[in-house]
Amino acid sequence: MKVQINPELCQGHGRCYDLAPDLFGADDEGYGLVLGDGTVSQDAKHDADLAVLNCPEQAIELVEEG
């Protein structure tokens, strides 16, 4: 499973990197970005789900690989 952010929807509220700092960071302007290749480990699944549910613009989604 991978996480991704739609940059056209992201408004830079920062909830993703506050809730899941191992999965998300911020660019120079404070907009969320996915760290690494976006792979979500089983240990990080809960944090990824929290980020998805707490994004005001629904800019984050989890996608199945393959």
pLDDT digits (tens, 9 = 90+) for 9-26: 999 999 999 999 999 999
Model pTM score: 0.91
Strand segments (E) across the chain: 2-5, 24-26, 32-34, 60-63
Confidence band of 65 (pLDDT split at 50, 70, 90): confident
Extents of the domains making up the chain: 2-63
Reduce the DSSP state of residue 31 to 3 states and report it: coil
Which architecture, in CATH terms, is 2-63? Answer: 2-Layer Sandwich (3.30)
